[in-house]
Amino acid sequence: MDECQSAIPAHDGDLHVVAAAHHIVKALGTTKNLSDDLRKILIDLDAHLSLITSNIDSKGGKGFVEVEERLKRVERKIVIWESDRIMIWDSGPKEASDYLEAVDEVQTLIDSLRGLSMNENQKQKELLHRASSLLQMAMSRLEEELIHMLVKHKQQSEPTYIPSPSSQRNVVYNESVVSLDNESAKEASSKNSCSDECGEYIVDLVPEHVIPDIKSIAKVMFASDYGQEFCEAFIGVRKEALEQHFDILENGKLSIEDLLKMEWCSLSTEMNKWTWSMKIIFGVYLMSEKRLCDQVLGEFGSVNSFCFLEIAKTTILCLLNFGEAIAMGPQEPEKLLRLLDMYETLADLVIDIDALFSEDGGSFVRLEFHKLLEGLADSVKAAFNAFGVAVSSNGSLYPFPGGGVHPLSKYVMNYISMFPEYCSTLNLLLEDQHSDVASLVSEPQCGPTASLSTSCPMACHLRSITSSLESNLHKKSKLYKDEALQHIFLMNNLHYMVQKVKGSELRPFFGDEWIRKHNAKFQQHEMNYERVTWSSVVLLLKDDNPGSSSLSKSAFKEKCKGFSIAFEEVYKNQTSWCIPDPQLREDLRISTSLKVVHAYRTFLGRNPAHVDDKCIKHTVEDVEKLLFDLFEGSPRSLRNSRRMMKT
């Protein structure tokens, strides 16, 4: 309105011009189909021209009669609501638009009164004060209406369609390098993969139809220079709403001190919650909040990003601090998968975070999250290395009973079978440590002929881990005094490793060459077992004197007895041994049977004369049957059973 000031007529002659202009404006104002903006301009112009007239009139003493009249009219419209208990916007759209119109009018009057030079005109001053009071009353009211509106609709629009993290929480978390059975390791390792379910989606934090109302209040408050009040009220409600959503996600308010002391089990739950919360808060709520801010405040410039930052900051800091606490904690191997989840989640969100906080004020937030991402990357690497160290250094004092599949093998193989899901991340993070490991794992897969999947950093690390596992198993096998059991143990565990590789996503990373080689390894142990256990036993049946047709009775008896004792000894020992894999057990029994039963049958067949019940403790059929008791993991003794049979 400043430019109008110069338009105040200096000469009486100009009065005609003003009057004429006023007429034209009034006439134009009656035209239908005017755009809102144009109509507003005309109304303003009308008000201003009438003021000029009255100002000139006032010199004649008549005063601002018309202005006062208009002020009185509008005053009634505004004051009437002060005693009303009902909210204006709840009363109906008509009431709301009338009220906004009234506020517009007050603002117009104020602008016009201000536009006039203040030549100590008492009346003008008084009117201006009255109008300002009225404006303050209206603004205060609008602020209240705004808060009411935001709060009311905030609660109505509680999103119910976001999948709850509880679906993921039925998972067992307490992984540790020792004593884990197959199932819990598998469960515990299951990847937290909700990114596919929820992705990024924007919800209406405030119902669509309310936005124009909020905007209309924003418009009029900003136009009256009450933008600050609008922002504070808006920020206040929205910030609280966001914090409530954050609370619903059940993020424990934990200090760093608490987190560093926390048991792994609870910590793992918290880490999962964080991953989940990050996705929901950034992917859903902040995205939606940003859109709401853009819708409401888009046309008010930097205010928009300021409000958004204020709304988001405390919640973001909470998430950030949790991440920092995890990144600084000791990186134990069991944390690896959860850390990978956290890293991947943040890596996915970083682009969004950059976009959400692209303005200067948000650079702090952007920077902090980039720092956190680096920290988490280091943590993943540290945990990965710790895992490798744990695999190679896991020590035992006593041999694992039965020579079955060691828990370490189960744990390691189940754990690493989760890695392929994180393949691209692990390849990225392990890249710089790749060359060291690749040279350590001097498998042909890492050579020039290797395919891509077997030569990627993760593949080399995987094979390095399994080779650590192998050497550790060799160490563990030395704890058995019985050499045969050493071979059973190694056979079992190597067979288990091969099976795990073959039956999982690990296969392409290990390659057929690795499988072939390791098949050969466990088969070698199988053969070694047979040699160590049975060669001496079979040797007892050997013909000392190949020339003669048959043995003397006593020699035969002696040999029979020797065989029985040796066989019973093996039986007693090896029924307590264990081959968990039925196929492997079957194969070994058959090949043992072939060797032993065949030798026994031949031996007996060669001495038909001596064969009678007294010397032969076990018939061929007995031996054949008894061999099937081996490796069942339940110790038996033939002497006992024989005695039992007799009594």
Angle at 112 between CA 107 and CA 117, to 5 degrees: 140
Q: At what angle do helices 553-574 and 638-646 cross, to 10 degrees?
A: 110
CA-CA-CA-CA dihedral for 85, 88, 91, 94, to nearest 10: 150
Shortest Cβ 495–other proteins spacing (Å): 27
Angle at 422 between CA 417 and CA 428, to 5 degrees: 130
* 83 touches other proteins (CB under 8 A): yes
* 231 touches other proteins (CB under 8 A): yes
Among 243, 513, 543, 629, binds other proteins (CB under 8 A): 243
User: CA 107, CA 173: separation in Å to the nearest integer?
Assistant: 63
* 72 touches other proteins (CB under 8 A): no
| Cβ 369 vs Cβ 343: under 8 Å | no
Burial class of residue 2 in the structure, from the number of CB atoms within 10 Å of its CB (0-12 exposed, 13-18 middle, 19+ buried): exposed
| Cβ 352 vs Cβ 283: under 8 Å | yes
* 129 touches other proteins (CB under 8 A): yes
User: CA 285, CA 463: separation in Å to the nearest integer?
Assistant: 42
Shortest Cβ 447–other proteins spacing (Å): 31
Shortest Cβ 161–other proteins spacing (Å): 25
The window from 169-177, 201-209, 237-245, 487-495 that contacts other proteins (CB under 8 A) reads 237-245
Among 364, 436, 583, 641, binds other proteins (CB under 8 A): 364
Shortest Cβ 416–other proteins spacing (Å): 22
User: CA 44, CA 25: separation in Å to the nearest integer?
Assistant: 10
Among 1, 21, 87, 347, binds other proteins (CB under 8 A): 87
Among 69, 144, 197, 263, binds other proteins (CB under 8 A): 144
* 395 touches other proteins (CB under 8 A): yes
User: CA 286, CA 448: separation in Å to the nearest integer?
Assistant: 48
In this complex, which beta carbon is closest to other proteins, that of residue 234 or of residue 534? 234
* 361 touches other proteins (CB under 8 A): yes
Buried b (16+ CB within 10 A) or exposed e, 196-216: eeeeeeeeebbeeebbebbeb
In this complex, which beta carbon is closest to other proteins, that of residue 25 or of residue 473? 473
* 371 touches other proteins (CB under 8 A): yes
Matching residue, tokens 């100590």: 120
DSSP character for 357? T
User: CA 647, CA 644: separation in Å to the nearest integer?
Assistant: 5
* 248 touches other proteins (CB under 8 A): no
C-alpha separations of 398 from 261, 392, 403, 479, 481 in Å: 32, 17, 12, 7, 11
Name residues contacting other proteins, limited to 320-349 (CB under 8 A). 321, 324, 328, 330
Name residues contacting other proteins, limited to 436-465 (CB under 8 A). none
In this complex, which beta carbon is closest to other proteins, that of residue 37 or of residue 120? 120
In this complex, which beta carbon is closest to other proteins, that of residue 235 or of residue 418? 235
Look at phi and psi of residue 235 and say left if phi exceeds 0, alpha if psi is from -120 to 50, else beta. Answer: alpha
* 233 touches other proteins (CB under 8 A): yes
Q: Which pair of tokens denotes residue 568?
A: 């019973």
Q: What's the one-letter identity of residue 184?
A: S
Instruction: Draw the binding track, 479-498, toward other proteins (x: CB under 8 A; -: no contact).
Output: --------------------
The window from 45-53, 212-220, 236-244, 454-462 that contacts other proteins (CB under 8 A) reads 236-244
The window from 133-141, 176-184, 213-221, 280-288 that contacts other proteins (CB under 8 A) reads 133-141
* 359 touches other proteins (CB under 8 A): no
In this complex, which beta carbon is closest to other proteins, that of residue 156 or of residue 536? 156
Phi, psi (5° rounding) for residue 632?
-90, -5
Name residues contacting other proteins, limited to 148-167 (CB under 8 A). 148, 151-152
User: CA 311, CA 235: separation in Å to the nearest integer?
Assistant: 5
The window from 135-143, 192-200, 486-494, 625-633 that contacts other proteins (CB under 8 A) reads 135-143
Contacts to other proteins by CB under 8 A = 82-87, 125, 128-137, 139-140, 143-144, 147-148, 151-152, 225, 228-229, 231-233, 235-237, 239-240, 243, 252-258, 260, 310, 313-315, 317-318, 321, 324, 328, 330, 361, 364, 368, 371, 393, 395
